[in-house]
Amino acid sequence: MTAEIIDGKAIAATIREEIRQEVAAMQAAHGRVPGLATVLVGARKDSETYVRMKKKACAEVGIASFGHELPADISQDELLAVVEGLNADPAVHGILVQLPLPDHIDDEAVLAAISLEKDVDGFHPLNIGRLSMKRRDPLFVPCTPKGCIELLDRSGIEISGRNAVVLGRSNIVGLPVAMLLLHRNATLTVCHSRTADLPAMVRQADILIAAVGRAEMVKGDWIKPGAAVIDVGVNAIDDANDPRGYRLVGDVAFDEAREVAGAITPVPGGVGPMTIAMLLRNTTDAAVRAFGG
């Protein structure tokens, strides 16, 4: 068996086109478009790259973007004042504070200060709390977990009644995606560093979400034949044959796993493009609510 490759780039491109058409319709109906504000504190190269990609994606679908690049030594009160200003700005429908923030800033306080109606990252405590409860739908779901579920849905992979294993328990991916799977009636197992006989636990999965941040940790013989594997990991490993001196791999040993799995995402080109697509989706949904449907 050779697995079907779940092409995140192609699926994300389809979603972006759907959003582009929605935004054009909003412009025609309301004379306004969704607006996304990004807040970047300091000069981390990786964060700068992520923000630049998000701005480019907004431009491609017609979403207005507003960049706020702030010094690394900004005080917490000054940063909170920027967030409050964006909360009050009617042109802004989504606010994204790029993490991580400098050590002297309380991340939780900043995320909690974002208006619930503009929390397009889905990290506000109330959105996460609603996600953790039955019949309490959040306004927004975090983008990477949402993208994982969208990949399964658009690939025709049934979730209800299946055994789902989430490898990793981070607040950003592992725990939210576990809640989404549970809400979709999967039978859920969350594995982590203290899990006994991890390969045996993973081998039970009809659906595996790997989000642990360890390069190629999940081997081919960990995979249940025919399973759907969503690999969230992005890890750099040394590679003298690559001009950069490294290459990117996931948490799953792809070449081994694809010979066992029924469907699998590559790295890169799997979950990554979906994260930005879901950010655009959340921002558009926020504007729909603001414009009254």
Residue 202: alpha-carbon gap to chain centroid: 22
- What is the spatial distance between Cα 279 and Cα 119, in angstroms, rounded to a whole number? 10
* Strand (E) or helix (H) holding 82: helix 76-88
- Catalytic (active site) residue 89: no
Whether the CB-CB separation of 125 and 112 falls below 8 Å is answered with yes
Binding residues for NADP(+): 168-170, 234
Residues forming a β-bridge with 237? 247
Q: Are 241 and 207 in contact (CB under 8 A)?
A: no
Tokens (6 digits) for 101: 């923030």
List helix spans (H) across 89-223. 107-113, 125-131, 143-154, 174-183, 198-202
229, 252 Cβ separation under 8 angstroms: yes
Confirm whether 98 is a catalytic residue.
yes
Pick out the residues of the known binding site.
168-170, 234
How would you label 131-143 residue by residue, b for 16+ Cβ within 10 Å and e otherwise?
A: beeeeeebbbbbb
**Would you call 54 a catalytic residue per the annotation?**
yes
Annotated catalytic residue: which of 98, 118, 146, 285? Answer: 98
Q: Active site residue: 54, 118, 146, 224, which one?
A: 54
Please tell me the chain's helix, strand, coil percentages from 3-state DSSP, rounded to the nearest 5.
40, 15, 40
* Active-site residue (options: 118, 119, 121, 224): 121
Catalytic residues: 54, 98, 121
